[in-house]
Amino acid sequence: MRKLTLYNIQKGLRYLRHFGFKEFMIRLRDRMEPEEVPYGPWYEKHRATQEQLDRQRMRRWKEPVTFSIAVPAYRTPQEYLRAMIASVQAQTYPHWELCIADGSPEDGALREALETYARDDARIKVSYLKQNEGIAGNTNAAFAMAAGEYIGLLDHDDLLAPDALYEAACVIEEAKSRGGAGPELIYTDEDKVSGDGKEHFQPNLKPDFSPDLLRSNNYICHFLIVSRRLLDRVGGIDSGYDGAQDYDFILRCTEQAQGICHIPRILYHWRTHAQSTADNPISKQYAYEAGRRAIEAHLARCGLSGTVACKKDFGFYRVHYTVSGNPTVSIIIPNKDEKETLRTCLASIFEKTTYRNFEIIIVENNSKTQEIFDYYKEIDGRNGVRVVYWDRDFNYSAINNFGAAHAKGGYFVFLNNDMEIISGDWLEEMLGHCERPGTGIVGARLYYPDDTVQHAGIIVGMGGIAGNILVGLKRGHTGYMHRESLQQDLSAVTAACMMVKREAFEAVEGFDERLKVAFNDVDFCLRVGERGYLTVYDPYAELYHYESKTRGAEDTKEKVHRFQDEIEYMRGRWKALLKSGDPYYNRNLSLSKWNYSLRSRD
């Protein structure tokens, strides 16, 4: 745990004023929660060993690429400057140049130090600017010096891991060996390091490219490497987004990049000190407004209609997509008996839902009680409700496919009968995403009745095959890197509440009826993903889930046998994905814990 200093106390008071007491205490408890796997020892265990670094230095490259490391310098403290340069000189990959643009002409000591480095090491190039041009202008000046095929961005007081360029060179060479041109954008995991460089903390273990997560937060950030081709097309840093210039640059790069590669290793160390944004985000609130504008400009370039709002957590955003037109949504609800459960579900839909162009299809599944059939007579044909009858054995996939066959809408919502709406705009939220070109599925944030998380997305490999993430997290808490509360792309979401674009549903011919109960939603999402569609988790569509009242317990030999068969089916069908790992979940995170804790074994 970091030491409690006067500076930290002052920072805490600033946050208290910003968040208010209740939300401040939630965040404080989250920060004080002990790590299940302490990061410091984990980092030491997983960083490259000296033996590995020595082997990397001995490697001979057939067609080496040159990296230009661009650094905008401004009144850089000597100790940080020397540490930054030393971290570049320590790279095990030898083909690099360091391009430093010094925007502080009045700082004679800094100039003298840079002149010495440039004289002693021909790989270090320095440009002395007549005046400070801000981070954007200074970075562009560093870009102008760069002669490499790839350009990396390094802040003047941060540090690179010694194997950072080596790992990037490996992925480029691998791509070229397969006949490609190499990725045009590469990013790595990162952590923070104390001012004295001794303490590593707050690792940012990232997913592979997730456009919706990037619109929620600049999760890519450091270490960023772009190809010369991409940089020439994008055109450098825009000073109009001062404070969020890197965010705007990354958004523009991802829009045009032909190949985006994520390296899941901690290869960048973001230094924290009293003046840095890393340790004092409240000090640059103008930057968050610039970030909001950058996202809105990005949406406009992508042809998407939406508005962006800053969340209370600094540097995090909410995108609200505009629903185009008034498309019909077909809500499909399987039901067996459970009159009161169904009544509660329907009442919440009718009383709370603000989007009104929907129909409800109840798929009756072998009910036994007379009261449910009497209830069907009350509701069938009224208020857009239709009851259709499934008279074969229980098969969740087949029942939902049967309901979809009766649907009129261009969008389907598969909804369990044991759900209760919380947010009235849940359909607009999901529809805003689902209407977008390239989006096929949207999932919701679901709570148990005790206000703990039941579903915030599904991770493939979790618990063996697939499982919900952040289960049991208290409402109001947002988990690791605020992931529970952020719009993001995932491999799968639960069909307990899932919106699907009709064209995506028909492209894969619906749910696979060989999966009668378990994993049919996961399999469905993965097959839709294979067709190039995104699956989006939207935390602003909120519902209660009373969970599986209709199906009953998995407590018979037949049900246990069926469950094992479905596990084996998933293992066979998705063998390659289970081996390589969920692309939206970092391989350094645990698959046996549900809270984004570190993976403890090698």
Q: According to the model, what pLDDT value does residue 196 have? A: 87
Same domain, 166 and 258: yes
CB atoms inside a 10 Å sphere around CB 536:
27
CA 290 to chain centre: 21
Question: Who has greater pLDDT, 485 or 600?
Answer: 485
Q: According to the model, what pLDDT value does residue 228 have? A: 97
Q: What is the pTM of this model?
A: 0.92
List alpha helices for 325-464, DSSP H: 339-352, 370-379, 396-405, 426-434
Same domain, 334 and 288: no
Nearest to 348 by CA among 410, 428, 426, 443: 426
CATH number at residue 283: 3.90.550.10
Same domain, 309 and 335: no
Same domain, 341 and 307: no
Residue 553 lies in a domain: yes
Same domain, 496 and 395: yes
Q: How far apart are CA 459 and CA 302, in angstroms?
A: 28
Same domain, 381 and 352: yes
Residue range 299-316, pLDDT digits in tens: 999 999 999 999 988 899
Contact indicator for 551, 560 with CB cutoff of 8 Å: no
Averaged confidence pLDDT in the chain: 92
Residue range 249-292, pLDDT digits in tens: 999 999 999 999 999 999 999 998 655 554 555 557 889 999 99
pLDDT surpassing 70 at residue 1: no
Q: According to the model, what pLDDT value does residue 551 have? A: 45
Model confidence band, residue 547 (pLDDT cutoffs 50, 70, 90): confident
Same domain, 437 and 564: yes
Same domain, 385 and 276: no
Same domain, 345 and 307: no
pLDDT surpassing 70 at residue 422: yes
Residue 39 lies in a domain: no
245 is in which domain, residue-wise? Answer: 63-314
Q: Which two tokens stand for residue 410?
A: 């261009």
- Amino acid type, 63: E
Give the end-to-end CA distance of the chain in Å, rounded to a whole number.
24
Same domain, 216 and 97: yes
Residue range 447-475, pLDDT digits in tens: 999 999 999 999 999 999 999 999 999 99
For the residues of 138-192, what is the DSSP string, one character each?
A: HHHHHHHH--SSEEEE--TT-EE-TTHHHHHHHHHHHHHHTT----SEEEEEEEE
Range with the lowest mean pLDDT among 175-179, 197-201, 265-269, 287-291? Answer: 175-179
Residue range 128-156, pLDDT digits in tens: 999 999 999 999 999 999 999 999 999 99
Q: Which of 248, 281, 314 is the last residue of a domain?
A: 314
Q: According to the model, what pLDDT value does residue 44 have? A: 95
How do 159-160 and 200-204 pair as beta strands? unpaired
Q: How far apart are CA 36 and CA 598, in angstroms?
A: 8
Q: According to the model, what pLDDT value does residue 555 have? A: 56
Residue keyed to tokens 């985006």? 260
pLDDT surpassing 90 at residue 329: yes
Same domain, 353 and 256: no
pLDDT more than 90, % of the chain: 85
3-state DSSP call for residue 11? helix
Tally of domains within the chain: 2
Residue 496 lies in a domain: yes
Same domain, 368 and 290: no
Question: Who has greater pLDDT, 356 or 21?
Answer: 356
pLDDT surpassing 70 at residue 28: no
Average of per-residue pLDDT across 101-108: 95
Q: Number of helices and strands (H, E) in the chain?
A: 20, 23
**Which residues have a Cβ under 8 Å from the Cβ of 262 and sit 6 or more positions away?**
186, 187, 188, 206, 207, 208, 209
Average of per-residue pLDDT across 535-542: 98
Nearest to 199 by CA among 6, 9, 44: 44
Q: How far apart are CA 589 and CA 206, in angstroms?
A: 10
pLDDT surpassing 70 at residue 9: no
Q: According to the model, what pLDDT value does residue 285 have? A: 80
Q: According to the model, what pLDDT value does residue 549 have? A: 39
pLDDT surpassing 70 at residue 14: no
Model confidence band, residue 550 (pLDDT cutoffs 50, 70, 90): very low
3-state DSSP call for residue 72? strand
Q: According to the model, what pLDDT value does residue 37 have? A: 84
Nearest to 171 by CA among 264, 299, 34: 264
Contact indicator for 566, 519 with CB cutoff of 8 Å: yes
3-state DSSP call for residue 53? helix
Q: Which of 314, 338, 369 is the last residue of a domain?
A: 314
